[in-house]
């Protein structure tokens, strides 16, 4: 899917090695295995509305397509490393269509439709089917794929059914302790027009996301877990098991990118508490079975008088990452340490050009 970035030759001709001096050994090994055709690599992005693409030109139809994680995936692809922003995400608000690749009976999915609607619990955003056992939601990624990993909330003794194009129906039991789990539906053949359909059985169903994969082409899969309004501490909430730690455990990523900072600054969260939040989430990530590397990014400078505090966050993150061996990327510095109206849709949210700037900065770290 082309995003119409225009001529980015000067950006892509730059040195592809990261300029920050850190090492991401597990992620580097995973990318090498992608290039060798051995396996997919998974990057999990935990950011606020910046990572979500809020306020970009496609914010009400396919917001993440203009967000920096997807732009980085495109840049990696063009540079020769197979990569995809591949996660299908549900509607997150009753007024917004989150993913225009989702349809019901051939029409674009808007919420609520046929019993499908938004759900938020334990800081897991999900697409909730509450009433209908027959209304199917279809997701068509628009690129070559034949495997669809469906991430769902394990909650009650019900069933989620899934069928990929031409494939067999998979009936997944959803009972058990509260957590996020996954199952896979397979299409009959590989195609760029394949889709997966989902419907519920005897109890409500909760879909957290879908990742489309190819059995013949291994890729760096970027799962965008960014949520508007998020603070770093929100991603660590234990909640009911329907949370970001549970999603991380289900994904078992090779790299976790931790963002945020804008909403903390809006709430005047002290620097020490902010860095403690980042340290706690990073420590949890490193303890996953996949032993992912951790990459921390500072936020873009905001208007409204909060950028000085965001700059203090940046300085504290440099110290934290240096002491603990985390990667660090200075987006704040990449915007010139100051609010830049030409790159912002408003005082808090980067516009399309601002997202490209962030992608430029992040690309140097992710294209190993």
120-129 pLDDT per residue, tens:
665 566 777 8
DSSP designation for 22: -
| Spans of all domains in the chain | 20-86+219-366, 102-213
d(CA 308, CA 65): 30
> Please, which pLDDT band fits residue 111 given cuts at 50, 70 and 90?
low
DSSP-derived 3-state class of residue 4: coil
With beta carbons less than 8 A apart as the criterion, state whether 259 and 265 touch.
no
pLDDT tens across 267-304, in order?
999 999 999 999 999 999 999 999 999 999 999 999 99
- Is residue 16 scored above 60 in pLDDT? no
pLDDT of residue 102: 81
Q: Note the pLDDT tens digit of each residue in 206-238.
A: 888 899 999 999 999 999 888 888 899 988 876
| Rounded Cα distance, 65 and 59, in Å | 9
CA angle 81, 147, 85 (to 5 degrees): 40
**Average pLDDT of 124-142?**
84
More confident residue, 105 or 281: 281
Per-residue pLDDT at 121:
62
> Which range is least confidently modeled, 62-71, 92-101, 239-248, 267-276?
92-101
- Helix axes of 271-286 and 307-324: crossing angle, nearest 10 degrees: 40
Q: What is the model's pLDDT at position 63?
A: 63
Question: Residue 85: left (phi > 0), alpha (psi -120 to 50), or beta?
Answer: beta
CATH node for 102-213: 2.60.120.260
**Residue % of the chain over a pLDDT of 70:** 86
Could you give the C-alpha distances from 205 to 9, 160, 248, 267, in angstroms and in order?
A: 45, 6, 20, 35
pLDDT band at 2 (very low <50, low <70, confident <90, very high): very low
Structure tokens at 39: 């396996």
Question: How does the average pLDDT of the chain come out, rounded?
Answer: 86
pTM above 0.75, yes or no: yes
Q: What is the pLDDT of residues 166-212, one digit of tens each?
A: 999 999 999 988 888 999 999 999 999 999 999 999 888 888 889 99
Options 1.10.645.10, 3.90.1640.10, 3.40.50.720, 3.40.50.1110; CATH for 20-86+219-366 is 3.40.50.1110
């Amino acid at each position: 899917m082309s995003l119409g970035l225009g001529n980015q030759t000067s950006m892509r001709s730059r040195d592809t090695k990261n300029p920050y001096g850190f090492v991401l050994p597990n992620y580097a090994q995973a990318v090498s295995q992608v290039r060798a055709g051995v396996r997919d690599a998974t990057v999990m992005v935990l950011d606020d509305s910046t990572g979500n693409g809020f306020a970009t030109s496609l914010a009400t139809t396919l917001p993440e397509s203009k967000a920096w994680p997807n732009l980085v995936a495109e840049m990696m692809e063009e540079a020769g490393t197979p990569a995809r922003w591949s996660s299908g995400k549900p509607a997150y608000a009753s007024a917004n269509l989150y993913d225009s690749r989702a349809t019901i009976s051939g029409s674009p999915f808007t919420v609520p439709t046929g019993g499908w609607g938004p759900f938020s619990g334990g800081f897991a955003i999900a697409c909730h089917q509450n009433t209908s056992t027959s209304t199917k939601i279809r997701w068509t990624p628009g690129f070559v794929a034949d495997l669809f990993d469906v991430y769902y909330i394990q909650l009650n003794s019900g069933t989620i059914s899934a069928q990929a194009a031409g494939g067999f129906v998979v009936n997944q039991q959803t009972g058990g302790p509260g957590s996020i789990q996954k199952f896979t539906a397979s299409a009959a053949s590989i195609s760029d027009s394949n889709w997966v359909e989902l419907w519920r059985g005897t109890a409500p169903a909760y879909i957290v996301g879908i990742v489309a994969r190819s059995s013949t082409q291994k890729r760096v899969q970027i799962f965008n877990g960014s949520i508007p309004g998020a603070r770093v501490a929100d991603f660590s909430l234990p909640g009911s098991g329907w949370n970001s730690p549970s999603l991380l455990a289900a994904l078992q990523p090779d790299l976790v990118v931790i963002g945020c900072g804008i909403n903390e600054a809006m709430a005047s969260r002290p620097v020490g508490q902010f860095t403690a939040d980042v340290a706690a989430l990073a420590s949890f990530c490193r303890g996953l079975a996949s032993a992912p590397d951790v990459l921390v990014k500072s936020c873009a400078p905001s208007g409204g008088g909060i950028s000085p505090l965001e700059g203090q966050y940046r300085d504290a993150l440099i110290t934290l990452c240096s002491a603990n061996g985390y990667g660090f990327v200075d987006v704040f510095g990449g915007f010139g340490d100051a609010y830049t109206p030409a790159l912002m849709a408003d005082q808090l949210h980067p516009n399309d050009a601002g997202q490209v700037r962030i992608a430029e900065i992040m690309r140097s770290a992710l294209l190993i």
